[in-house]
Structure formats: C-alpha cells, structure tokens
Structure 1
C-alpha cells in the first residue's frame, strides 16, 4: 500500500490553485503557479461541451488519443518541480481517454526519473452504452462524475490524478474532502468547496479576466491564476500569488459566481449548493472570503453530455460598401439561392449593418452579409456552395468582394443533455498499481425543486431620472449552457438592488435585447449577492458547435445589455 504524502501541512486549510480554464489556456500556467508561491494542490479544467466533441473525434481517428495533449507537454517541464514541492495535481485533461493519459504520464515520469504515482478515474464514458440507454449513437456520451473517485486516488497517495468528464467544481471538492476527511453527507462543507471550485475553475476570470469593470483594475497585462484557501467547514478565501497581475475583489468573485449558472440551486453529483445563501466579503487586498454556503443532497441522476455529428456546414461572407445596402443584400440573396443547383437543408442569412453615412474610411462604409448552410451531405455545402458564391463576382452588386476565399464543408456537432440514475454508472478510482476502487453514488439524494422568489423591495418613484448606459450602474457576465445563455447582473448598493429587481424583468430584457424577444426567459434573484440571473432559453440553438450566431457562446451578451441606454434614477448613480 502506498503511503500517502500529506495534502497540506495545515490541518484546517488547504490551498487549491487552478492552472487552466479550458483546453488552450496559458501554457506557462503550471510553472507560474508552482513557482509563484505556496500551493498544496494544483487543479486544471481542460474540458467543455465543445472540447468533448473535439476529443471524441481525436479518439475516433487514433484510439490512443482523446486527451488534452497540452497537459502532457506542460508536465514535461514541471513534473519534477511539482513532486519536489509536494504539490498534488488533479486535472480532467483525460477527456475521452484518462487511462491513456495516465499511462503517458507514467512513461514521462520514468523518462525524467521522478518517482511520481499517477492514478485516474473511470466510469464517465457511456458512449458504448448510448444505444441501450436511448441516446442513439453519439460520438461521445459522458456522465458528469463527482469528487469521490479523485478522493480515493488522493487518499491512496497519488501525486497526479487524471479524470475524464467530472464536474468542474469537483476538481476542488476532492482535495478538500480528502484532506479534511469529509463524509459523503457533509453537504454544507461540500457545497462550500463546490462554490470555491466554481470560482476558480475558469482560471483568470476570477482575477479580473473578462470583467465588465476591467478599467478599475490597475494591472491586467497578465492576470494571475486563482487560489482557493478552503477551510475545514467549507468556507474559503479566494486569492492569488503575490506580485501577479489582475485583482481578486468582491466584484471579480461575484462575476465568476454568476458565470454559467441557472437556478439558485447549483446541483452537482456531490451536493447541491444554495447560491442564495452565499456571503462574499473582502478580507483585504486580493483576498475575498466566501462563507455561509448551505448544502443539500445531490439529485438522484447524473447529467450526461451527449455530442453527436450533426452534419456539415459552410459559410460565405459578402462585403457590401456604400449606398443601397439593403438592396445589395436582397440581390445577393436572390442570386445565390437561385444559382445553387442543390438546395441545402438549412440556409441562413445574417446582415450586419455596421456601415456609417459619409464614412471617412471604406471599412466604416461597409456592412457584411453572411450566408450559412448546413446539410447531411458534405458535397452539398462544400465547394459547390462556396464556388457558386465566387461565380457571382462579376454579375452581382457593385463593389462585390468576399471576406475570405471559398472554403470546403466542415463537420459540426450538436450537444444535448441526457440524464441517468447515478447507480447505473460504474464510477471507479484506478490506482497507480492497477487496483480498482468502486465509488458508490451518494447514499442520500434530493430531487431538485424551485426556490421561492424572495421578497422584492419597494421602489419609490424617483424625483429625477436620466438616460444612461445600464453599465453605469450594473455589472454583468454572461455565458452558455448548451442551447441556453445566462446573463448574471449585480450591483453594489441596496438602493441599486431595489431599482434593478423592480426594473429588469424578463420582459424588459426582451425589450433591451431584441434577439431574445420570442424566447422564454427565466429570472432568479440572489439578494445576498445583490444579483439577478437571467437564463435565455434556446438563444444558442443546438449548442456552440452548431450555431452560426455572431456570438455563439454568448460571452458578449452581457456587454451588449450593459451598453443599452435606459432611464435610471439619478439618486442611485450620484
């Protein structure tokens, strides 16, 4: 039996850092975090819904692939340092092949002469069972596992733990649970660690990256990566290494808390965290404390990420300059649609009027017209489509030119969510010596239900108002959840909160964001954070890999909303 090295010297606090928020994040982050200051555990999130599709296609081409190759190259330069500093590493970089990545890491450790033990977690990959479970034949079907497989690996002494699709927050829950010896039903503590994990999982978004009030941060040249100091009771302090860029403030932490959430119940396989209970307070420069997180039992089912090949797509972008933009766009549509010998199953047009009257440059006098096509047959939307657009060059609107040369068809994916009873998933920890430890589901579960909306404060009729941008008062962040988009908004005073919750209703959002006019919008109030979250259903179609929307992941949706002008009481912005 391997003798486990201690995860942290402090029995009451474990310092968990993050080095990755997506597959493609800063390559130097592992070294930066190891060299920048004290750490107990380093986590990395490499997976997203789109990433699973990419890795599934990689594995289909090469059965030995299917994992995040960048993590292996990062380890080549940092494995010895991590071992010498007793920093355990927990990452989901295994993607569709955690066993394959674990084997490569052992080979690398032998090559470097570092006595590193590597364990991995299996059970999330349900692709082979998809037909019997009624999901058809997707390229990838992965259940979101929880922390307890990683916990067993760490308790057995693993220096590196590689997983496939576990929830992002579980990467931080696992080392805390292993270090403090939490039981499966310590739901308050687990939920607190889930919240800390949610804050740090997207790397520098917690330290000023993608922050709507970014002009308030002195140094954003190279934000540092976040650290969660998780305590025995599940409360935490979010911080970063000294001397690194960016900032950790109540607002940067709140921004990440609201990122890609849905209801006041943040459900995972380990617990359900009540986001309406969270308290966030400043504890000094670059130190923000998160306390009072209430936890509940997790739901009885696990979410499953289903990625399938939806077909093939192509697009061509026409540039329209000067006068008669609408007429030029109409002519282009008529010509292209009539010239195509085979009509694609789907054909979309998007006209963006960025042209200005009496413009000083040609680019400012231009608009763009994009045609997006999709079909099951690649030949229908391949060169036959883009070549037809080129053939129009001398026979169409005056000043005809394209933004890009003609391209061939490319495959696109479709994401859907499935669900499976937790006891139907064979979750296992696989230790360095090959032993397997079965991980049972949570013995206690709770079906999710709605949280009653809190009381809305009264709002007095203001004596003076003025028309200003919403972002003069409100901060925001938005993101994607499959076909849906979320917009998290928050303010800094009670008066602003009273105004916001009385003013920003789903119908008002539809007025301010006309693209959402015909879509269902759900609103969740979080008074402790002076925040409101909107979930716009169906804005992103069938997911990021499918969509042709200008902003397919809704990353800029909040920024658009904050730039809209409306009547705001002068008193709350004085």
Structure 2
C-alpha cells in the first residue's frame, strides 16, 4: 500500500441521506476492477433523523442507529472485502456502538475478514449540562440568538459534529469499515485523505482542500446534476439515473471531482458551484480539523466530467464545534382541503372561519395553528387538477391529548356539509392524528469538552485530542450589503422576466437558517448579478416571505456567485417545521421565479 500512496486517493460518495438510493455502495464496489476506488464514504444523517433517533434512544423504543445504512452495506460487503475497499460512514445516529456490533456480526455471518471500528464522542449532553451548571457558557443558539436557559424545552440529547482524524487513525490501525454517529458531513473525506497521504494537523492547506472536497461529494448525486437548476440540459445525458461522485485528492491537497463511469448526469463547473453553495453559511467554513476560506474559490473544467477545485485557503480550526440539542417538542397534525376554480381566497376564508369556530373550545392549548393556501388555480384551466389548490390546516400542541381526534380532526372535518362550494377533504386522515415532533437547538461547545475516541474490533480504544492550535472566530461572518466598485451599470436593453432565466441558484437549511447562493455562467454577467442582488433587493424579491430577520451577503468573484444567509428564515428546522419547504431547498426556486430587469444580450445566449 505504501507505494500506491504516491498517487491520489479516490474517494466515492455513495449516500447523502437516509432516503438516498440503496444500490450505490454495492454498485461502486462491484465496479472496482473497471473503475477503482480506495474509499467509499456516505452520509445517512440529517437533522430530521438525528432528532428522531435521539428520541428513540431516550425512550428506549428500539434501535437508534440508521437502519437504511445496513440495507446499502449488506449487498456490498463481499466486494468491499474482495477488493480491499475502505468504508467510512455517518450512520450511527444515537447508537453507534450497536451499529458497530450489527456490522461486525453481519461480516462474520458472511465469513468475511473485515475489521470494523467505531467513533464515539459525539454524544455530549453531559458536557453541556456540566458547563451550563458551572456557568461556563450561555450556549447561544447560532441561528436565533436565544440562550439555552431561556429555551422553553428540556434537552434530552446533544450531539457534536466531530472531525475526521478519528477516522484517519482507525484506518491507520487497519480498520476496513469505520462507523460514526455524527461526524461532520465532510469528515469521512478528510479522514480518508489524511490516512492515505499521512498529513498532520499542520497541513492546513491540504486539510482545507479535503474539507471542501468532502462537502462537494458528501451529498452523492448533487454534484453530478441532482438538485441542479440547469437540469433541463441533463435530459440527453441520462437524468433518469444520475451518477455518484468520485474525488481524486493528491498529496498536495489538489482535488479533481469526477463520477462513476457510464453513469448519467454530469460533473461540470456549474454542478460543482451548485453543490458548493449548498448549506454553507459564509466565507468561513468551519470543521473541527480546519477552517476553509471560500471567497477566492473557483472551479476549472479539466476534462469531460472532470472538474478541478481551486483557490481554497486553510486556517486553523475553531476552538468550538457545532452541536445540536434535541428536545421533545410536543405533537402536530394537519388536514388538507381541496379548493377548485373561482373565488379561492373567499372559499379559504369561509373554511377558516368555520374551523376556527369549531376549534374555539380547544385552541387555547395550541402552540401553533396555521391556515395556508398552497399553489394557485390556473385561469381558464383545461383540466380540473390545474384549477385545484391545497388548503392546509396545521396544528401543534404540547401534549398528544391537546390535539386528539376529538379536539382537532373532528372539528376541522365536521363542517363539510356547511362548507364552501365543492368542499372536499383529503381522505388520508392519518395526517390528522397527533404525531410526536422534536425541537432542535444549534449551538457551540469547546472542542476541549469533547471526548473523541476510536474503538477498535479488539475492544481497545484511544482518544483523539482536540487541536493544539485553534481560534475563536467572530460569531458574525463578513457581510457585504451590496456590490462595491461595479465597473458598469450600462447593461443595454432589458426586459422584465424571471431571475432564473439567466441565474442559477441553490439553497438549503441549517437549523432555522436558510442559505441561498446565486451564480451566472459568464464573466460579463458577474457585475450585473452582484449589482442586482443586494441585501435590500433580496428583501424585495422575498416579498411576503421576508421575515424581518438579519440577512448576510458575501461574494465569490472567481465563481461568479453571490451568497445570502437568511437568519432564522425557516420555522425552527426540519424536525418540527410547519413549512412545506422544511428543508429550505425551494427558497432558491421561489427567488428564481421572481421578476427583475434582465439584459436582453444575456438572454440571447439562451435561457436556463
């Protein structure tokens, strides 16, 4: 293996969510003779299943790891063993130790000599409680600004986002598979590259490049054309079966992004920019191992489906790491009515008045009651579905009994006979029954308070110490309210039309924050984009969606991109949100549909 480490390591990303396609790991492993890879990484964690699995563990209601990982691993194990492929995954959720046992037993049942290690240290509720009791930290919520003492929910679990050096150490000891509970999304890539090339904590440039590379490939198909606003160009490239990314990282840290051979989609500077802008929070990108500075980053197309990452800078890591605290948030339910044709607003007002009247004896116990129209009826529609709008009644309350069927479902369904013309309720009544929800609180914990450990197959263990050099970064990232020194404002003739005719965009969620990045394809469009998209103009484009909260802005001039962080824009995050867009992914699509003045000379190049 020593001689092979003179070449770049090839790392494949096989999963970005618990609901990702299950076949990828087996496919990548089986294709090793024709398309060799050294490490398969995957992420099965999100704020949704992190909180759900935390509640499962707290209540002792079943296995608290992510079971869909096993569905992906089991058919791949023989080829993983046959070809000596390493595996590092985020899948342990709230019981990584049990997942380690399950994977170990599965390997033994197949008579496979696979050494399985696991990483601990992400479970940090005792550390939070100790620091809180001793008054060492107020644990300010990095999304909302509130402090933990004022949070109206009782924490039941807390999980830290760990770095990748534990993974690297496990591989160095001979591990074939490393299962983690909650390392950061990009940490498996960092760990794999550190192990392969023998880097240490002083290799900040190399670590930063591996970190950003990990961000690019950790969401599986995204960097290959999934969730890409240029998706229409992918149809002839096989958008029915978009491929999985492979990163080639050299000893110097330079990285190439490509994809598995013969797969659909594409890897281009545009798909890479799309994934780069997903879920970042500003020009500083933090990991427990390194801080990556993104403001000079750019991509270079070096071949078909081959893109080089350029311009990443590395700084010492922060002294803290992000943690997510879970609490039981109560219960929620919803009912949907269908409104068709004319007078949609008036029909909705009538239904709302009737529902509020029926709910009056119980609504004082509700913590949230929302009535929303979703969609719009096409004028002079040629089919009935096109003329139909969803009217949603959504409720949350502290206890299950507060929104029992007698106190929510029946009151909002019973008015059907006195309802609006065509009154029709959705027949999937399961949504109307209470279901448990979890609240999620995002804050920071000193890395020194985290006990990051590696557990090997022989029951031995060792600790990964916090970084010897770290920095307390300012809680406010640099922000530019508007473009500076724009060279020209003479864009020629323009027409009014959707921003998305010219501009790509990508958005996502982190807690209750939403981020949204915009970029253009051509250099001469850059000054127009940055002058058009100021913070004030984003507020105008958000229109009714603007929440009055803080917005940060920064530019990536080498990538022709402008990024915005919408503070506390989402309703408390995915695990308890009342929004249809609980992942924040359609913030970008809404803003691309909004109208601005578009230079016709740019439109003449073709609409996106």
1:368 aligns with 2:385: no
How do 1:381-392 residues align onto structure 2 when only pairs under 5 Å count?
381-384=403-406, 385-392=408-415
Q: Which deviates the most, 392-401 or 87-96? A: 392-401
Aligned partners of 2:56 and 2:399: how far apart in 1? 22
The residue number in structure 2 matching 1:199 is: 216
- Going from structure 1 to structure 2, the CA distance change for 1:519 and 1:543 (only over 3 Å counts) comes to same
How far the C-alpha of 1:32 sits from its partner, in A, is 1.2
Conserved 8 A contact 2:498-2:592: yes
1:184 aligns with 2:201: yes
The residue number in structure 2 matching 1:316 is: 335
Aligned length: 569
Conserved 8 A contact 1:478-1:554: yes
Aligned partners of 2:258 and 2:492: how far apart in 1? 42
How do 1:273-288 residues align onto structure 2 when only pairs under 5 Å count?
273-288=292-307
1:73 aligns with 2:71: yes
1:537 aligns with 2:572: no
Conserved 8 A contact 1:131-1:137: no
The residue number in structure 1 matching 2:145 is: none
Selected match of 1:559 from 583, 589, 593: 589
- Going from structure 1 to structure 2, the CA distance change for 1:352 and 1:65 (only over 3 Å counts) comes to closer
Q: Which deviates the most, 226-235 or 464-473? A: 464-473
Per-residue CA shift, 1:39-76, capped at 9, x if unaligned?
A: 00000111111110122233345476211112223332
Aligned partners of 1:405 and 1:75: how far apart in 2? 34
How do 1:106-505 residues align onto structure 2 when only pairs under 5 Å count?
106-134=104-132, 137-217=154-234, 218-340=237-359, 341-343=361-363, 344-352=366-374, 354-384=376-406, 385-406=408-429, 407-449=432-474, 450-451=477-478, 453=480, 455-505=484-534
How far the C-alpha of 1:469 sits from its partner, in A, is 2.2
Aligned partners of 2:207 and 2:466: how far apart in 1? 15
Q: Which deviates the most, 280-289 or 91-100? A: 91-100
The residue number in structure 1 matching 2:28 is: 33
Report the TM-score when normalising by structure 2: 0.90
Conserved 8 A contact 2:479-2:554: no
Q: Which deviates the most, 543-552 or 435-444? A: 543-552
Q: Which deviates the most, 54-63 or 118-127? A: 54-63
Conserved 8 A contact 1:64-1:100: no
Aligned partners of 2:340 and 2:74: how far apart in 1? 51
Q: Which deviates the most, 358-367 or 547-556? A: 358-367
Conserved 8 A contact 1:516-1:536: no
Q: Which deviates the most, 457-466 or 527-536? A: 457-466
Aligned partners of 2:299 and 2:380: how far apart in 1? 50
Structure 1: 5+ residue stretches without partners: 1-5
How far the C-alpha of 1:365 sits from its partner, in A, is 2.8
- The DSSP-based 3-state class of the residue aligned with 2:275 is helix
Conserved 8 A contact 2:17-2:44: yes
Report the TM-score when normalising by structure 1: 0.95
- Going from structure 1 to structure 2, the CA distance change for 1:325 and 1:485 (only over 3 Å counts) comes to same
- The DSSP-based 3-state class of the residue aligned with 2:394 is strand
- The DSSP-based 3-state class of the residue aligned with 1:360 is coil
Per-residue CA shift, 1:78-119, capped at 9, x if unaligned?
A: 212101101000001111111111111111111111111011
How far the C-alpha of 1:448 sits from its partner, in A, is 2.0
Aligned partners of 1:345 and 1:248: how far apart in 2? 46
- Going from structure 1 to structure 2, the CA distance change for 1:67 and 1:7 (only over 3 Å counts) comes to farther
Q: Which deviates the most, 122-131 or 280-289? A: 122-131
Conserved 8 A contact 1:43-1:90: yes
Conserved 8 A contact 1:511-1:517: no
The residue number in structure 1 matching 2:140 is: none
Per-residue CA shift, 1:312-358, capped at 9, x if unaligned?
A: 11111122223332222222222211212211232111123512333
Aligned partners of 1:131 and 1:336: how far apart in 2? 43
Conserved 8 A contact 2:30-2:76: no
The residue number in structure 2 matching 1:84 is: 82
Aligned partners of 2:116 and 2:52: how far apart in 1? 25
Conserved 8 A contact 1:59-1:66: yes
How far the C-alpha of 1:489 sits from its partner, in A, is 0.8
- Going from structure 1 to structure 2, the CA distance change for 1:446 and 1:131 (only over 3 Å counts) comes to closer
Aligned partners of 2:394 and 2:3: how far apart in 1? 53
- The DSSP-based 3-state class of the residue aligned with 1:379 is helix
- Going from structure 1 to structure 2, the CA distance change for 1:375 and 1:231 (only over 3 Å counts) comes to same
Conserved 8 A contact 1:21-1:45: yes
How far the C-alpha of 1:224 sits from its partner, in A, is 1.1
Structure 2: 5+ residue stretches without partners: 133-147
Conserved 8 A contact 1:485-1:554: yes
Per-residue CA shift, 1:454-474, capped at 9, x if unaligned?
A: 854322323311223212221
Q: Which deviates the most, 227-236 or 337-346? A: 337-346
Aligned partners of 1:9 and 1:168: how far apart in 2? 27
Aligned partners of 2:498 and 2:339: how far apart in 1? 30
The residue number in structure 1 matching 2:48 is: 50
